[in-house]
């Protein structure tokens, strides 16, 4: 019999509904496990133990009183620390926000609070979500629960590590260029990046506003579907939130239809530094889909080769604009070394931001400056349009596209000294953000004992199709049932 903390969210939900266990018992099990494994995993920046117990007890009382509750009521969850939480420190992994306590909840946090989920705390990330390994956090590095000498991916590395270590059955992350899907691949999880506008960004500390999306990380496809069901939908507080109806995601998982699906294999995704072992694992997944009745064939998306370069103009440009608000005047850390408006801002930003964030701010400011805007930012946006148009044409022929999620398994902590090599870790995920599409990473095998993931991509607002196809693959394999070394340690 597995420990309570080792159960998936849907398993915990079933036991809670059946009265076999209380939310308080589940939460206490999770908190005890967090205390035991955090010295090696270091996923959390803030553990809200007392608040979690209070939330769990409140759900138990409501359930005992016969109230109709959400399917995930009483289930613990970890929150990426760039999501604002009332009364709980929210740092975005940066020194400049080390003392920031928001007076309001992000919309997704509010919806989860109303649904009765239990907040275990805030988890680590690359500073302002800028990075692919969680080594850029101002506080500490998080490790991969499958091998603690390796990175968990980024920027949602704390979210992925918490779920892979069974510290929490669910977590929320954010995805600007792969920051949910890439750590999901590294940690053997399911990670969903919804369509741009599917989930409200209100209360998410912005990195690149035209690219950011909030989404779930979990051990199973069904768990991600249940979590997205709660957070998806229009929000008047976010002008980019789409008024599109929310489909039945869990229903799509329960009756997945693969027969007759047309799946494209874009050849460009198997060339850009993707290891042979990862490519072979994804091609084996394609063969399995064929055996289930899908039609699988190779296709081409030529502009993919330019996505990484265009992204690293567009994203830093938006970062330069968004991070201008952190000036040491209105909130956040203020330098005590010098008075005077200009000196105060310079010192506060110099001391508060890390090297990666400073670099991206400078690149973005340069790209937006007079005389360079047309040469860089405008041209990058034109490439973005080409990428989007190619995806649109592809989805006239195919229902889904199947690619690797990351070029290789998780790398060693400190191994990526070359910043360009680090950025290539997101080469397979960035085009999806540039086009505003939904994508899901699902475990599809192991290379040298480390998990690897495959990525399914669909047309806008086709998350239900993704969940159905991912669930069909999950049902035909055992990858999602495997637990990391940390999760199974006594």
Gyration radius of the chain's alpha carbons: 21
Q: What six digits make up the tokens of 321? A: 């604009």
Output the pLDDT for position 50: 98
β-sheet bridge partners, residue 171: 78, 217
Specify the 3-state DSSP secondary structure of 323. helix
Output the pLDDT for position 333: 86
Per-residue confidence at 413, pLDDT binned at 50, 70, 90?
A: very high
Per-residue confidence at 339, pLDDT binned at 50, 70, 90?
A: low
Supply the DSSP symbol for 376: I
Among the listed residues 10, 174, 179, 224, the single catalytic one is: 179
What would the pLDDT profile of 349-403 be if each residue is shown by its tens digit?
Answer: 999 999 999 999 999 999 999 889 999 999 999 999 999 999 999 999 999 999 9
Q: Based on the residue annotation, tell me whether 80 is a catalytic residue of this protein.
A: yes
Output the pLDDT for position 419: 77
Mean pLDDT value of segment 80-108: 97
**Residue 473 neighbours by CB under 8 Å, 6+ apart:** 285, 288, 289, 442, 444, 454
Q: Compute the C-alpha angle 191/387/376, nearest 5°.
A: 110
Percent of the chain with pLDDT over 70: 99
Range of weakest confidence among 59-73, 418-432, 457-471? 418-432
Cβ neighbours of 330 (radius 10 Å)? 8
pLDDT exceeds 70 at position 211: yes
β-sheet bridge partners, residue 77: 119
pLDDT exceeds 90 at position 329: no
Mean pLDDT value of segment 178-193: 98
Alpha-carbon distance of 175 to 216, in angstroms, equals 10
Per-residue confidence at 251, pLDDT binned at 50, 70, 90?
A: very high
Alpha carbon of residue 52 to chain centroid:
22
Per-residue confidence at 416, pLDDT binned at 50, 70, 90?
A: confident
Alpha-carbon distance of 237 to 308, in angstroms, equals 31
Q: Based on the residue annotation, tell me whether 179 is a catalytic residue of this protein.
A: yes
Structural domains present in the chain: 4-255+468-488 (3.90.1300.10), 305-380 (no CATH)
pLDDT exceeds 70 at position 219: yes
Q: Compute the C-alpha angle 197/48/333, nearest 5°.
A: 70
What would the pLDDT profile of 134-165 be if each residue is shown by its tens digit?
Answer: 999 999 999 999 999 999 999 999 999 999 99
DSSP class per residue in 93-145: T-GGGTT---SS--HHHHHHHHTT-EEEEEE--SGGG--SSSTT-SS----BT
Mean pLDDT value of segment 419-433: 90
Whether omega before 155 lies within 30 degrees of 0, making that bond cis, reads yes
β-pairing, 262-266 vs 295-299, is parallel
pLDDT exceeds 80 at position 340: no
Mean pLDDT of the chain: 96
- Nearest alpha-carbon partner for 276 in 478, 60, 448: 448
Q: What six digits make up the tokens of 394? A: 């592809």
What would the pLDDT profile of 259-290 be if each residue is shown by its tens digit?
Answer: 999 999 999 999 868 999 999 999 999 999 99
Among the listed residues 10, 94, 155, 159, the single catalytic one is: 155
- Nearest alpha-carbon partner for 384 in 318, 314, 322, 321: 314
Identify the residue whose tokens are 């007759």: 260
Output the pLDDT for position 445: 98
pLDDT exceeds 70 at position 490: no
Output the pLDDT for position 422: 84
Is the separation of the CB atoms in 184 and 178 below 8 Å? no
0.85 exceeded by pTM: yes
- Please tell me which residue, 479 or 341, carries the higher pLDDT value: 479
What are the φ/ψ torsions at residue 261 (nearest 5 degrees)? -65, 140
Output the pLDDT for position 379: 96
Q: Based on the residue annotation, tell me whether 137 is a catalytic residue of this protein.
A: no
């Amino acid at each position: 019999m597995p420990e309570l903390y080792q159960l998936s969210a849907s398993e915990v939900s079933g036991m809670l509904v059946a009265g076999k266990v209380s939310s308080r018992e589940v939460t206490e099990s999770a908190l005890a496990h967090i205390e035991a494994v955090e010295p090696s995993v270091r996923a959390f920046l803030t553990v809200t133990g007392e608040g979690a117990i209070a939330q769990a007890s409140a759900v138990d009382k409501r359930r005992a009183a016969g109230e109709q509750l959400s399917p995930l009521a009483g289930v613990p969850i970890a929150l990426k620390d760039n999501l604002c939480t009332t009364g709980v420190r929210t740092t975005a992994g940066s020194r400049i926000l080390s003392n920031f306590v928001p007076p309001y909840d992000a919309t997704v946090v509010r919806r989860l609070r109303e649904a009765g989920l239990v907040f275990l705390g805030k988890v680590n990330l690359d500073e302002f979500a800028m990075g692919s390994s969680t080594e850029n956090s101002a506080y500490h590095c998080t490790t991969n629960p499958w091998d603690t000498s390796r990175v968990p991916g980024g920027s949602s590395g704390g979210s992925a590590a918490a779920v892979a270590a069974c510290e929490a059955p669910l977590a929320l992350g954010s995805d600007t260029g792969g920051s949910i899907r890439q750590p999901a691949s590294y940690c053997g999880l399911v990670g969903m990046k919804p369509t741009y506008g599917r989930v409200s960004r209100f209360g998410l500390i912005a990195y690149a506003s035209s690219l950011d999306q909030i989404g779930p990380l979990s051990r199973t496809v069904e768990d991600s579907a249940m979590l997205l069901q709660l957070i998806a939908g229009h929000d008047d507080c976010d002008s980019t939130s789409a008024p599109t109806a929310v489909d039945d995601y869990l229903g799509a998982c329960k009756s997945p239809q693969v027969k007759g699906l047309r799946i494209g294999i874009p050849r460009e995704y198997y060339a850009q530094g993707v290891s042979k072992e990862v490519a072979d694992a994804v091609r084996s997944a394609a063969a399995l889909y064929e055996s289930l009745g899908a039609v699988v064939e190779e296709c081409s998306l030529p502009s993919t080769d330019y996505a990484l370069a265009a992204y690293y103009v567009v994203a830093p440009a938006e970062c330069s604009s968004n991070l201008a608000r952190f000036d040491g005047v209105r909130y956040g850390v203020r330098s005590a070394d010098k008075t005077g408006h200009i000196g105060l801002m310079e010192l506060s930003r110099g001391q508060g931001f890390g090297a990666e964030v400073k670099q991206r701010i400078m690149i973005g400011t340069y790209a937006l400056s007079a005389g360079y805007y047309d040469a860089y930012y405008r041209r990058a946006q034109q490439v973005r349009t080409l990428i989007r148009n190619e995806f649109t044409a592809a989805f006239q022929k195919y229902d889904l596209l199947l690619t690797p999620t990351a070029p290789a398994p998780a790398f060693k902590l400190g191994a990526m000294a070359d910043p360009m090599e680090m950025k290539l870790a997101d080469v397979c995920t960035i085009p999806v953000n540039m086009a505003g599409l939904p994508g899901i990473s699902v475990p599809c095998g192991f290379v040298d004992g480390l998990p690897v993931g495959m990525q399914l991509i669909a047309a806008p607002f086709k998350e239900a199709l993704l969940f159905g196809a991912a669930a069909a693959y999950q049902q035909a394999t055992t990858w999602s049932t495997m637990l990391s070394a940390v999760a199974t340690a006594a």
